[in-house]
C-alpha cells in the first residue's frame, strides 16, 4: 500500500497528542540514501518530493537559499560517500578562525537583507506536493551558523571568554 501523507498526524504528534500512527520525522536524509531508496538519481525538487512521499513522510523539508556564511567560511573541500559508491563534493567551515572573531567584526559584517533571500525552492516544492503533504522550512541549528562564521575553536573560546 502506498502511504497517503497526512500532515495532521505529524502535528498531532508534535503537540503531544495521540496520532493514528507514529509519523516519521527527519530534518535531513542523505542524497545517496534517497537515490538508493528510489533506485534512481535525484536531480530536482520534484524528485525529492517523490522520495519524501514514497518513504512515508508527511512533509518535505525545504529551505530558502540564504547561506551567506558559506561563501566566505568554507576553506577545505573533500569527497564524501555515505552510501554505496556515490561520491559527493562537500566543504567544511574553518574550525579555527572564521570571518567573525570579535564584536567589532560582528557589527561591521555585511548581513543579507530579507529581499536577498531566495524563496523559490519553497515555492517550487509546493507545486509537487501530493494531497495531505506539507513543507517544513527551517534555518540551521542555533549554534551551527554561529560557529561556522566564527570558526569552532573561536566560538568555543568566546562562550567562556566573551559570553556576551
108-129 per-position pLDDT tens digit: 988 878 888 899 999 999 999 9
User: Average model confidence (pLDDT) for the chain?
Assistant: 84
Distance of CA 139 to the CA centre of its chain: 7
* pTM, rounded to two decimals: 0.74
pLDDT confidence bin for 80, thresholds 50/70/90: low
| Chain segment 132-148, per-residue pLDDT in tens | 999 999 877 778 878 88
Dist. CA 140–CA 161, nearest whole Å = 25
| Chain segment 149-158, per-residue pLDDT in tens | 888 899 999 9
Domain boundaries, the chain: 7-161
pLDDT at 82 over 50: yes
111 against 6, higher pLDDT: 6
Percent of the chain with pLDDT over 70: 83
* Burial class for 23, CB neighbours closer than 10 Å (0-12, 13-18, 19+): buried
**pLDDT number for residue 162:** 86
The mean pLDDT value for 23-33 works out to: 89
State the Cα torsion 60-27-136-88 to the nearest 10°.
-60
Percent of the chain with pLDDT over 90: 48
**pLDDT number for residue 113:** 82
The answer to whether the CB of 114 falls within 8 A of the CB of 64 is: no
The answer to whether the CB of 51 falls within 8 A of the CB of 59 is: no
Dist. CA 100–CA 69, nearest whole Å = 10
The set of cell numbers assigned to 162 is: 566573551
CATH topology for 7-161 is TIM Barrel (3.20.20)
CA nearest neighbour of 121 among 55, 67, 44: 44
Strand partners, 80: 88
**pLDDT number for residue 64:** 87
Amino acid at each position: 500500500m502506498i502511504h497517503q501523507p497526512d500532515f495532521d498526524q505529524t502535528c498531532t504528534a508534535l503537540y503531544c497528542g495521540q496520532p493514528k500512527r507514529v509519523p516519521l520525522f527527519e530534518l535531513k536524509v542523505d542524497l545517496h540514501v534517497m537515490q538508493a531508496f528510489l533506485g534512481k538519481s535525484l536531480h530536482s525538487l520534484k524528485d525529492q518530493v517523490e522520495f519524501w512521499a514514497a518513504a512515508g513522510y508527511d512533509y518535505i523539508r525545504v529551505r530558502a537559499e540564504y547561506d551567506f556564511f558559506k561563501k566566505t567560511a568554507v576553506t577545505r573541500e573533500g569527497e564524501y560517500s555515505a552510501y554505496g559508491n556515490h561520491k559527493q563534493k562537500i566543504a567544511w567551515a574553518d574550525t579555527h578562525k572564521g570571518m567573525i572573531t570579535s564584536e567589532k567584526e560582528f557589527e561591521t559584517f555585511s548581513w543579507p537583507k530579507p529581499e536577498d533571500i531566495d524563496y523559490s525552492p519553497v515555492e517550487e516544492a509546493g507545486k509537487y506536493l501530493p494531497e495531505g503533504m506539507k513543507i517544513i522550512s527551517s534555518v540551521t541549528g542555533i549554534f551551527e551558523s554561529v560557529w561556522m562564521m566564527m570558526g569552532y575553536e573561536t566560538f568555543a573560546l568566546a562562550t567562556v571568554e566573551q559570553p556576551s
